[in-house]
Amino acid sequence: MSVNESLLRNCYHPANASHIELHAQLTDEQYALLEKICPAGVFQRQANGQISVHFQGCLECGCCRRVAGDEAITTWRFPPSGAGIHLRYG
């Protein structure tokens, strides 16, 4: 099973607001790192150079928080109870 096929099995209940917030001024290297490490493609650079946070697809794995650190991510918390990802196996 491919990663995309596995991701399609998950069930998402998006919250109304993002549980991830980035610093306003990130370097190109920080943007590139976030785009590269997120397995769900949550961080996507727009044509104007800004990065969008598609938090609705977050796997809550914490990789971005651990790798990019507080220098890039100002807030990372789990979505409110009942929201976020519901993992399905098998």
Tell me how crowded residue 72 is: count the other CB atoms within 10 A of its CB. 19
Residue 37's nearest CA partner among 9, 6, 59 is 59
Least distance in angstroms from the C-beta of 33 to ligand SF4: 11
Residue placing its CB nearer to ligand SF4 in the complex, 17 or 61: 61
The one among 22, 26, 33, 42 contacting ligand SF4 by CB under 6 A = 42
Contact (Cβ atoms closer than 8 angstroms) between residue 26 and residue 51: yes
Query: 34, exposed or middle or buried, with CB in 10 Å at 0-12, 13-18, 19+?
Result: buried
The one among 30, 38, 72, 79 contacting ligand SF4 by CB under 6 A = 38
State both tokens at 40: 């769900």
**59 touches ligand SF4 (CB under 6 A):** yes
Least distance in angstroms from the C-beta of 53 to ligand SF4: 8
Residues that bind ligand SF4 (CB under 6 A): 20, 37-40, 42, 58-64
